[in-house]
Amino acid sequence: MTCQFKIVLNEKWCKDCGICAAYCPKEVLVINEMKKLVVVEEENCIGCGMCEFRCPDMAITVEKREVK
């Protein structure tokens, strides 16, 4: 089994400020052309938690999941 991570975004709390995207070393989080935060290529997430730690609104979490 390999471990992967899932990005959980609470859209009610997220202000689309982009701080999490700025700290994501793998560019899994981006601000799109509509100025909204989106998760892209989630499989590239390394689970570092920088997005979670830097979010001023606690709107994002990184969850560990087992994949067979």
Within a 10 A sphere around the Cβ of 59, how many other Cβ atoms?
20
Cβ-contact 37, 21 below 8 angstroms: yes
Cβ-contact 58, 8 below 8 angstroms: no
Rounded mean pLDDT of 45-57?
95
Q: Look at residue 61 and give its three-state secondary structure.
A: strand
Q: Which residues contact 51 (CB under 8 A, 6 or more apart)?
A: 7, 20, 21, 23, 24, 28, 29, 60, 62
For the entire predicted model, the pTM comes to 0.84
Note the pLDDT tens digit of each residue in 4-23. 999 999 999 999 999 999 99
Q: How many domains does the chain have?
A: 1
Domain with 62 in it: 2-67
Quickly state the pLDDT bin for 3 (edges 50, 70, 90).
Answer: low
What's the CATH code of the domain at 51?
A: 3.30.70.20
